[in-house]
């Protein structure tokens, strides 16, 4: 059974003229979603990359229930509460020592907006205003105006171009082209004196699961540091074990000036985000002059229930078995991906930690490739939740996924390509 076309809901990233009916989901458990018609669907993309330990993890659910009975919401201006204090303290214990303060928000996009405003506010408040932002080609940082501005221009934001501010762009460090990217960043940093460089470390998500090595990330950080340019690490997708370490920046051994975290922050149970920043950025805003206040908020900043979920998630990350599970999933992903290593139907077969991706040879590549919706429909009918990025198929499962689950996912990929082509 599918949903009714009478629903008034407008769904995200959905062309309703092509997909008028949605799949009703009634429950989730572990790596599976349960549909109203009784189907059991493998969630092979962690429900847009947010679910880490599995759907409805008992430890996180209990924390949410307990907090909902104590304090559901309080204005966070002039007030605080224990779940937020606990989350902030534990995040900073896990983060690089360069990060000293935590600002709460609601989503990955808003955490990026906060980061950009922090960077611009810092330079204005120290009396050396800078307004230029540097980004990487093919990047994606969210769908709010600022986040779109620092993302790749294209089909995602063409209609909103008049609202977007101009940025400097460095080319993606594709294999064999790494030095060109580094040289471009160095030139922009020297010529334009930008405020900040924002980057998705190691893996560009919505841009096509494009991957580059830690050494390049390390050199980009060095260039920014030498030029006095703030380095913003957008770890919204890459954080929480996705690339094999808790945060992707760990693999490059770098300490960003600002870091954005969301998605897996609550284990996928509640919407919550944070922007972590250095002491220098915080101190540039701390003043008896009220005009230097950091003017950003949302009504639900640091919602206590969401923070309780995040605190429970952080408790799970302190358990050794969580890190072991990451390694096991990465190993299973590598094993499953190997079956396509010499498959001529695919190119650029790649993996970073628990993330895998492969590009289907198609007449029309890119996000709007005609093969994308066909693949999506096949996977939907096969009870596997995969949402190809055009001709790019990727797998990013919850960490509770089993080897047998992944075998079923990759068998569906194998069959799907034959059916679609």
Would you say the C-alpha torsion 376, 368, 399, 344 has a positive or negative sign? positive
> Residue 2 above 50 pLDDT?
no
The residue-averaged pLDDT of 127-146 equals 97
Domains in the chain: boundaries: 25-56+321-420, 71-317
pLDDT digits (tens, 9 = 90+) for 33-82: 999 999 999 999 999 999 999 999 999 999 999 999 999 999 999 999 99
Residues 282 and 148: their CA atoms lie apart, in Å, by 25
CA distance 105 to 303: 9
Stretch (H or E) spanning 23: none
pLDDT digits (tens, 9 = 90+) for 307-342: 999 999 999 999 999 999 999 999 999 999 999 999
pTM comes to 0.96
Instruction: Print burial letters for 313-328: b (CB count within 10 Å at least 16), e (below 16).
Output: bbebbeeeebbebbeb
Class of domain 71-317: alpha beta
In the structure, what pLDDT confidence band is assigned to residue 362 with cuts at 50, 70 and 90?
Answer: confident
The DSSP bridge pattern shows strands 258-261 and 230-234 to be: parallel
Distances 23 to 269, 311, 375, 377 between C-alpha atoms, Å:
20, 31, 16, 12
pLDDT-derived band at 391 (thresholds 50, 70, 90) equals very high
Average pLDDT of the chain is 96
Confidence of residue 1 (pLDDT cuts 50, 70, 90): very low
- 25-56+321-420 is classed CATH 3.90.1150.10: yes
Q: Is the pLDDT of residue 4 over 70?
A: no
């Amino acid at each position: 059974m599918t949903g009714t076309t009478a629903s008034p809901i407008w769904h995200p990233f959905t062309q309703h003229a092509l997909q008028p009916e949605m799949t009703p989901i009634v429950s989730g458990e572990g790596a599976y979603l349960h549909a109203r018609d009784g189907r059991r669907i493998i969630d092979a993309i962690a429900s847009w990359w947010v679910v880490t330990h599995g759907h409805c993890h008992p430890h996180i659910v209990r924390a949410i229930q307990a907090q909902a009975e104590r304090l559901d919401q309080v204005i966070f201006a002039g007030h605080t509460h224990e779940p937020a204090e606990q989350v902030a303290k534990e995040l900073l214990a896990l983060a690089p020592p360069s990060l000293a303060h935590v600002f709460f928000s609601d989503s990955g996009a808003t955490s990026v907006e906060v980061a950009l405003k922090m960077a611009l506010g810092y330079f204005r408040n120290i009396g050396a205003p800078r307004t230029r932002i540097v980004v990487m080609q093919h990047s994606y940082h969210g769908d709010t105006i600022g986040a779109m501005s620092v993302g790749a221009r294209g089909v995602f934001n063409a209609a909103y171009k008049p609202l977007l501010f101009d940025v400097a762009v460095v080319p993606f460090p594709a294999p064999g082209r790494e030095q060109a990217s580094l040289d471009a960043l160095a030139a922009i940093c020297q010529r334009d004196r930008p405020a900040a460089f924002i980057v998705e470390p190691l893996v560009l998500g919505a841009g096509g699961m494009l991957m580059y090595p830690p050494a390049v990330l390390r050199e980009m950080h060095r260039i920014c540091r030498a030029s006095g340019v703030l380095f913003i690490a957008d770890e919204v997708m890459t954080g929480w074990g996705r690339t094999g370490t808790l945060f992707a920046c760990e693999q490059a051994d770098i300490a960003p000036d600002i870091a954005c975290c969301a998605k897996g922050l609550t284990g996928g149970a509640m919407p919550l985000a944070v922007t972590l920043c250095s002491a220098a950025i915080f101190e540039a805003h701390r003043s008896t002059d009220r005009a230097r206040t950091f003017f950003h908020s949302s009504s639900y900043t640091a919602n206590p229930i969401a923070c309780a979920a995040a605190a429970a998630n952080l408790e799970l990350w302190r358990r050794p078995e969580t890190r072991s599970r990451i390694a096991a999933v990465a190993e299973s992903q590598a094993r499953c991906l190997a079956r396509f290593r010499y498959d001529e139907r695919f190119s650029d077969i790649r993996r970073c930690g628990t993330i895998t991706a492969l590009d289907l040879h198609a007449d029309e590549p890119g996000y709007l490739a005609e093969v994308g919706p066909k693949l999506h429909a096949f996977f939907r009918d096969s009870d596997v939740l995969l949402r190809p990025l055009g001709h790019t198929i990727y797998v990013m499962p919850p960490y509770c996924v089993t080897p047998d689950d992944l075998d079923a996912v990759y068998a569906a990929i194998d069959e799907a390509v034959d059916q679609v082509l």
